[in-house]
Amino acid sequence: MSAAAKPQDDAAILDWALKDAHIPSLMMALVHLTGSAAHLTDDMKPVYDFFGDGQGGFSAEKQQAIRDMAKAAMLAHMAGKPLPPPPDFATIRRMMDFIAGAQIPERYVPFLKEELGIAVEDTRDPKWDTPKLKSAAAKMNVVIIGAGLSGLLCAIRLQQAGVPFVIVEKNADVGGTWYENAYPGCRVDNPNHMYSYSFEPNHAFPYHFSTQDVLHDYFRRIADKYGLRAHIRFETTVEEARFDEKTAHWHVRVKTKDGRHETLDANAVISAVGQLNQPKLPDIKGRDTFKGPAFHTARWRHDVDLAGKRVAVIGTGATAFQVIPEIAPKVDQLLVFQRSAPWLGPTPNYHDKVADGKKWLLEHVPTYGKWYRFWLFWTLTDGILDAVAVDPAWNDTSRAVSPMNEMLRGLLIEKMREQIPARPDLLEKVTPDYPFGSKRSVRDNGVYLAALARQNVDLITAGIEEITPNGIRTADGVEHAVDVIVYGTGFHASDFLRTYEIVGRGGAELHERWKGDARAYLGMTVPGFPNFFTIYGPNTNIVVNGSIIFFSEASVRYIVNCLKLLAETGAATMEVKSSVHDAFNARVDAENLRMAWGVPNAKSWYKNAHGRVSQNWPFKLVDYWNATIKPDPGDFVLS
């Protein structure tokens, strides 16, 4: 923020900042500033449009009236007027409905109350504060595998509980996927005020959707703030985790940067290795014969200059979607090889910077930031989930799965048509031939279709037959000469924990047990593998609702509470019962078949080699939150 841009006088500062306010969040903050909810009248209730700007549909006059009220209240606050007592819960409940623009179902209220976090106290703090718990914590030792967003979160919570731990990280720094993926255009597809820990907001995020470097810096600062680097073994890989039935401990064999092997002893192992960090190259004939540079987006070759080159991008998923607009203006010719088109979700502010005035409000207006995050969270929670659920009365699921899904399909196609009105040929190519929700959709602010419409870009939909020394031959017999090939072909997402072996009771190896069809209770624990937990495990991915950080926070709370259960009971191990594990997975499988991504004709990385949806959580977010508050002792064998 430049000094010249920001006024110095309080009244002028407020005028400058309030012009960038999110009006519904500002209305909530006004209740805390004034102690009055009188302005929350029916005629002032927000009305949201699916493709709108999220400002609630207020007229310019109504927006200014709210800004004027906020200015007066903030001037009094800045002059030293103390805040009134916090609103009672009945008022908070009313405010939740108000900012949502609709009545929030009662089952969501406890869940959303925690997410709102109006209280200063962090409700997810483990609080091992009795002498018995403190004594038990000191005797524990946990190995965390991975120092990405989930591994760091685990470390913070274990540190708060007083449980000793060590993190094993294969890279030279923290950040996981945000350290490894540094391709042009890399950014998150979740609003960054949601893509941050609930207890560590960053009011200074420069963009609405953060770029890779910004997110990597966020996680680096988190590691520094909590003193986690002293606990991390960098450039060290895990080769095996083996359970010792005699000692009820895990032995974790690691390999250091210089090639030495060590074995770490632990009461429990938490795997936080993620899903999207093992690049998958396509099985195409002749792939290794190409003479020029060829690389996966997750292993971007920054030493390869694309300027003036003929470049091929294979794939049009989330990664390629970000890369293509970045490199199209620089290359001589860009050939984009598409197997299936992605659905484009209109997001006008996808590349926009957060206005300086909004940053000031987030930092200085009491509770404004919490209500803004709450609003983002609610809009991303479960609102669109019904639109991707299969209607049993709907006959043909090849293009849509319900009347609502069909309507959404038409709206999205119309949005694409508006971007390329002169290119009906291109519109036909970029229109998906599957229902919305069957595959991952991407955030669209117009730059992708604009890139495809450039004179130096060709979108090729003929299947690839072979890669040759000089280029790519398609099924129509045409050989396309290129200088560089970029693979935007995804990851080995369904091959969970593929980088190391896990040996449990009786010498059972987890991957042999799974046989390519990974399953876990709540995505976290497996029979026969006591005190072994996974984060971002099977069936904990999301498609159209929520943030993966929400799942990480829910999972970490559950895992730390599992360790707390051991401490409280004096048990050495806990192992989920097979009956509990199997019943849970049966429910998940049945529900996934009712979703757009589970219908037989849906093909995506959500399904594993067996055709089962091993990735997605098909229920509401509130259901995962409820299931992971704390473990039910009856679900486990405690030994």
Q: Into how many domains does the chain fold?
A: 3
Q: Can you tell me the distance from the alpha carbon of 164 to that of 141, in angstroms, rounded to the nearest whole number?
A: 5
**Position of tokens 């390329």?**
420
In a domain, 117, yes or no: no
pLDDT for position 380: 85
The CATH number of whichever domain residue 586 belongs to comes to: 3.50.50.60
> Quick one: 249 and 322 in the same domain?
no
Of 472, 487, 502, the domain-final residue: 487
Give the angle 610-616-622 at the CA atoms, nearest 5°.
150
Q: Can you tell me the distance from the alpha carbon of 302 to that of 376, in angstroms, rounded to the nearest whole number?
A: 35
Q: Can you tell me the distance from the alpha carbon of 56 to that of 597, in angstroms, rounded to the nearest whole number?
A: 31
In a domain, 419, yes or no: yes
**Beta-bridge mates of residue 503:** 242, 509
Half-sphere exposure of 443 (CA within 13 A, CB side): 18
Regions of the chain with pLDDT less than 70: 1-5, 119-121
pLDDT in tens, 380-399: 888 788 999 999 999 999 99
> Quick one: 176 and 199 in the same domain?
yes
> Quick one: 90 and 239 in the same domain?
no
> Quick one: 534 and 467 in the same domain?
no
In a domain, 478, yes or no: yes
- Cβ(319)–Cβ(326) below 8 Å: no
In a domain, 110, yes or no: no
> Quick one: 498 and 621 in the same domain?
yes
Cα pseudo-dihedral 174, 176, 177, 181, rounded to 10: 50
> Quick one: 471 and 568 in the same domain?
no
pLDDT for position 381: 84
Whole-structure pTM value: 0.95
Using DSSP's 3-state secondary structure scheme, residue 222 falls into helix
> Quick one: 629 and 511 in the same domain?
yes
pLDDT for position 2: 45
413 φ/ψ angles, rounded to the nearest 5 degrees:
-65, -40
Q: Which domain holds residue 418?
A: 287-349+392-487
> Quick one: 190 and 324 in the same domain?
no
Of 468, 487, 506, the domain-final residue: 487
In a domain, 208, yes or no: yes
Q: Can you tell me the distance from the alpha carbon of 220 to that of 286, in angstroms, rounded to the nearest whole number?
A: 41
Of all helices (H) and strands (E), which one includes residue 379?
Answer: helix 368-379
> Quick one: 264 and 305 in the same domain?
no
Taking the chain, what is the end-to-end CA distance rounded to the nearest angstrom? 58
Of 487, 507, 529, the domain-final residue: 487
Half-sphere exposure of 602 (CA within 13 A, CB side): 28
pLDDT in tens, 440-474: 999 999 999 999 999 999 999 999 999 999 999 99
**Position of tokens 């207006």?**
365
In sequence order, the 6+-apart residues with CB closer than 8 A to the CB of 74 are 14, 33, 364, 365
* Number of neighbouring beta carbons within 10 Å of residue 475: 10
Q: Where in 75-203 does DSSP place strands (E)?
A: 142-145, 165-168
pLDDT for position 277: 85
Token pair of 1, please? 């923020």
Q: What is the CA radius of gyration of the chain?
A: 26
Burial of 222 (0-12, 13-18, 19+ CB in 10 A): buried
Q: Where in 267-349 does DSSP place strands (E)?
A: 268-271, 294-296, 310-314, 333-337, 344-346
> Quick one: 345 and 362 in the same domain?
no
In sequence order, the 6+-apart residues with CB closer than 8 A to the CB of 279 are 296, 297, 298, 299, 487, 489, 490, 491, 492
In a domain, 121, yes or no: no
How far, CA to CA in Å, does 23 sit from each of 208, 352, 353?
17, 19, 18
Q: What is the DSSP letter of 209?
A: S
The order of strands in the sheet holding 165-168 is 232-233, 165-168, 142-145, 268-271, 532-534
> Quick one: 301 and 271 in the same domain?
no
Give the angle 406-411-413 at the CA atoms, nearest 5°.
95
> Quick one: 313 and 443 in the same domain?
yes
In a domain, 592, yes or no: yes
Crossing angle of helices 23-34 and 368-379, in 10° steps, is 140
In a domain, 126, yes or no: no
